[in-house]
Structure 1
Amino acid sequence: MVINKNVEGKNMTIALDGRLDTTTAPQLEAELKDSIDGIEKLVFDFENLGYLSSAGLRVLLSAQKTMNKQGEMVITKVNETIMEIFEVTGFVDILTIE
């Protein structure tokens, strides 16, 4: 998985390319831990994300909890496969998906 991060002031966009799974979730978790302080708007771009596992969902849930305290988190450009995962797991009720 490739993580493309762009920070503009208090806004951060993270575009993921590949698979967010057991192998790559720790990489995203570490990236968020290092850079989420002071961020008021976190945007995930899932245009090129092909797969999302429960480990990836856990990282997203953790990021959402953090952002609930300091701002907002939005997930954009979600494909049909990933949206189905969000619907089946109930994450559509927890996350802001545009």
Structure 2
Amino acid sequence: MNIEQQKSNDSLTLFLSGRLDTVTAPQLEEHLNANLDGVSSLVLDFSELNYISSAGLRVLLTAQKRMNRQGSMVVRHVNDVIAEVFEITGFCDILTVE
């Protein structure tokens, strides 16, 4: 997985590509922990993300809980495979997906 970011004031956008799975989820978790202080708007762009596992879902849930306290989080450009995972797991009710 590759992570690119754009930060502007209190807004952070992360562009994820590849697979968010057991191997790469710790990388995203570490990146979020290092960059979320002072952020009130988090956008995760999944345009180039092909796959998400339960380990990736756990990282998203942790990020959503943190952003509920300090602002908002949006997941954008989700492909059909990931949208189906969100639907089956109920994450479509937890996350704001655009």
Output the TM-score relative to the length of structure 2. Answer: 0.99
Aligned-pair identity in percent equals: 57
Per the alignment, residue 77 of structure 2 pairs with 77
Q: Output one character per residue of 1:36-65: Cα deviation in whole Å (capped at 9) or x when no partner.
A: 011000000000000000000000000000
Within a 5 Å distance, the mapping from 1:45-60 to structure 2 comes to 45-60=45-60
User: Structure 1 stretches of 5 or more lacking a match?
Assistant: none
Q: Distance in 2 between matches of 1:24 and 1:13?
A: 18
User: Structure 2 stretches of 5 or more lacking a match?
Assistant: none
Per the alignment, residue 38 of structure 2 pairs with 38
State the 1:5 CA deviation. 1.0
Q: Distance in 1 between matches of 2:62 and 2:18?
A: 20
Q: CA RMSD in A?
A: 0.3
How many residue pairs match? The answer is 98
Q: Output one character per residue of 1:61-90: Cα deviation in whole Å (capped at 9) or x when no partner.
A: 000000000000000000101000000000
What code does the residue aligned with 2:39 have? I
